[in-house]
Structure 1
């Protein structure tokens, strides 16, 4: 073999290996500790978080305590309790039954030496911590605490932690697969000139002797780590009632004092329309016991459970977004998207962040459902096409690797939305599709899930083998190609660039209302003679089209 050819092969192999390494990085031990069920996590189950915090605006610091009630579900002999808390925050001390216990630190993970405990017993551990948490400069996407001023120059503290993890602001069991079964409480102490807002319902307000006030908030339902949040500012409460499927729902609006009137002139109407739409399609709002709140924030939005962050400026469209379509400007997309997460994200939460398409895909599709409810199917399809066509980057699968806290990235939003949209087209029965959506929300109500179990449930509920469909669009980066040829009014067609068992019914412009069921094998169909020899596939189906001879 010529030396130059060998050199060319070597360069090519190295280049491909470099590209592969960019996509498949080697997980670090910190990645594994953060994203997996380790031996120091598996033996205990969270029952309740009791958080007490005091953020200090001038110093950008926080000090607090988390009392974690847990149940022993496996022997903890010769095991630690793994607690996650991100630098630069530090655990100051840990008490178990009023006695200090030893703590070892490894990066953002803390190992607590808890005494041997009986299986099925319950106990509480008190973790005291403090420091200057990571500051968010691009909330909520980069994660951390946001220390801002409102338009009158007054302190405004908010946070976001979904992608970086809730351990960025409090010590917890970070894995999404374990939520506190009995809920959580959050006591927030701030100067008495400010108002702190948290998840759930306000249980008490205590005026302290040092010029501070403590508000204690409480949720009774399970809550994911990143769904826990607090807000501090010059808030006022505008209480309302929404008459929903399960009766009266407390819908409170916590806004900065100078925006009080915008609740009635704008925000309440948008929320009411959204709740009505989603209760019709998904079932009852999942947290009646904990109420519903919209809390004004200095960033676009975030789905904090029962305390949704809202920062879209009290106007339709989407703040700071480019290339908005006509239909984008007819809805408050932040209200719609973040409220949808109460069903898909908060009630139904993925155990691993790599399955996040379940949350973002269904929330994206919920925006389409809202447009349909207000303006009809034609408008909804135009909205879908404007948001998705030509915008999906198929650079990697939208389900990546488990156990290392690896997110699928931004393109997962639109591709996940497209998958749900295609699913409705395949079902081709709106009432059956709606019943499936409501069945999913009943089956996985207040549960943590893996994508595969939801996929299987959807297939079973609809009576269809959808696994090849899900495997292709979730676990492969490539999308199928519909190949075809036309000769003497005979249409030959098949799928290529897909898994061997992939099959999906489609509609084309040349076959009218007749469904085609292509596979990887060539099929033939006699079509009505037409002057139009160019075939196109309905935009409901996300495939490439290629004519072959």
Structure 2
């Protein structure tokens, strides 16, 4: 558990009980007069989402997930060894496993342990008090048929076009405990990484996270594939990919690039995956080297669109540019590159190396990674195309509820976390109004928080300190309110003046921006109070740099 995570713990408990819960829906965006329905958190939501006492009393150190997968019967069985250090004295810890799977036993060494199940949560009880600062290890044995659920199925038994088993995982939304027992939350990751061992029928391959350590024929028709993750890893990033894969590789400097695809897609993959070194070059330029070098970088073909599994990025974009064969942003730029390669790989920096400590702050994953797409465009095609690309995101924003959801409730943030999040970051860039300073700032921000689990308050504090500005009202307006700020302008052409102020939910909202003529912008610093400036421009001539900020403008 990071120091940043610990110092936000009390705040998290408070918010988990007093914040309203906003439900995510797949219905069309609500109108301004019809806000989305409010959903109270269920008992299961609070168990899963809150960082309760039986989670907070221990710090994860290591997992060893050892699993056997039977494609014919659609069954799994195995164990997860969990090593942890107690932070306070205690005799109970909290873990998760969906009730569709059976817990066969829980052991500490050779001694069986008692446990109590409550839906998808189970509590392990110890016969003696575990002491603070001491390290312990338990093993959970389990079995069953994992349920197929969520957008990508979470754990799916499929077949490829040749009839071979093709089994994959993608559990970010639903939770990794659909298929393996773990501490299913975001705040605490195993500090010492994990080992993943997956036994599959001979002739198939398993590709998981981390460095390939070898395979072993078990002599019973199964082969075990062993992988070692050398870094902390978010539980939903843990993946298995079982199929009739073929492998090819490449290098980016001293970074190993490994690719696993179905045989019939080998030629298309070799053509499309040639974009990876260029992607690495762009992200190295802005943020520094790939964060999981000991594990290497992998792209793995899957039967769904894609997912940011750490060091094992899932790819299903049909080996074409754009996103699922379409112009993602509609301005002619996204067909120049493969969206899944660029976006999902960007999560290695934001989402995997830097992880939100609570699902409520998931914009730290998605907003920043969507902004990385914009930086990729700028690096390869120039600033003018970056401006065009980022502004094309505006039509995707709904502004129907805040980006940050209620903490401690396992509530899924709205889709605006992607597009409004990136537009907010682009707005910050133009508040700083110095690209040399901005690029140094975001590079250092990433390096400062790399391998940590953080909250929005950590991001705010860092940007406040490094810029010398009070940006907290700006963060709050864009992330904790529904509406974006509106610049109100009142023209008095006879007096050659214009009054201006911000209309915003945050009383202390203040944000500089550029106005006047595009060829010769003038920076003003509006607050929520009316101010006046002289101008020779008429209402029609007076412009606002709306391409640089995500705002509304009301000219009166």
TM-score by length of 1: 0.91
Alpha carbons 1:87, 1:133 under 8 Å: kept:
no
More relative contact order in 1 or in 2 (CA 8 Å, sep 6+)?
2
- After TM superposition, give the deviation of residue 535 of structure 1 in Å: 4.3
- Distance in 2, matches of 1:470 and 1:137, equals 31
Is 1:365 aligned to residue 371 of structure 2?
yes
The equivalent of 2:54 in structure 1 is 40
> Deviation string for 1:172-225 (max 9, x for gaps)?
001211100000011000011100001011112100111110001011111110
Aligned alpha-carbon RMSD (Å): 1.8
SS in 1 for 2:174: coil
- Distance in 2, matches of 1:310 and 1:317, equals 13
- Distance in 1, matches of 2:363 and 2:150, equals 25
The equivalent of 2:118 in structure 1 is 106
Alpha carbons 2:516, 2:522 under 8 Å: kept:
no
Alignment of 1:6-405 (within 5 A): 23-76=37-90, 79-114=91-126, 115-136=128-149, 138-139=151-152, 143-243=153-253, 248-267=254-273, 269-319=274-324, 324-386=330-392, 388-405=393-410
SS in 1 for 2:130: coil
- Distance in 1, matches of 2:34 and 2:185, equals 30
* Residue range with higher mean Cα deviation, 204-213 or 322-331: 322-331
The equivalent of 2:524 in structure 1 is 516
Relative to 1, partners in 2 of residues 1:375 and 1:533: Cα closer, same or farther, differing over 3 Å?
closer
> Deviation string for 1:409-451 (max 9, x for gaps)?
2122111011111111111222211111111121111111111
> Deviation string for 1:500-549 (max 9, x for gaps)?
1001111234484111111111111111245835644422211111123x
> Deviation string for 1:272-310 (max 9, x for gaps)?
111110011111111111111111111111000000001
Alpha carbons 1:510, 1:527 under 8 Å: kept:
no
Alpha carbons 2:63, 2:81 under 8 Å: kept:
yes
Aligned residues: 519
> Deviation string for 1:109-151 (max 9, x for gaps)?
1111123122211111010111111214741xxx521222212
Alpha carbons 1:432, 1:462 under 8 Å: kept:
no
Relative to 1, partners in 2 of residues 1:541 and 1:43: Cα closer, same or farther, differing over 3 Å?
same
The equivalent of 1:6 in structure 2 is none
- Distance in 1, matches of 2:206 and 2:242, equals 4
- Distance in 1, matches of 2:88 and 2:346, equals 36
The equivalent of 1:12 in structure 2 is none
- Distance in 1, matches of 2:550 and 2:475, equals 13
- After TM superposition, give the deviation of residue 343 of structure 1 in Å: 0.6
Relative to 1, partners in 2 of residues 1:529 and 1:109: Cα closer, same or farther, differing over 3 Å?
closer
> Deviation string for 1:77-120 (max 9, x for gaps)?
xx421110012112111111211111111111111112312221
- Which ranges in structure 1 are unaligned for 5 or more consecutive residues? 1-17
- Which ranges in structure 2 are unaligned for 5 or more consecutive residues? 1-32
Alpha carbons 2:58, 2:87 under 8 Å: kept:
yes
SS in 1 for 2:335: helix
Is 1:456 aligned to residue 461 of structure 2?
yes
The equivalent of 2:29 in structure 1 is none
The equivalent of 2:3 in structure 1 is none
- After TM superposition, give the deviation of residue 321 of structure 1 in Å: 5.1
* Runs of 4 or more above 6 Å deviation: none
- Distance in 1, matches of 2:39 and 2:151, equals 25
Alpha carbons 2:63, 2:82 under 8 Å: kept:
yes
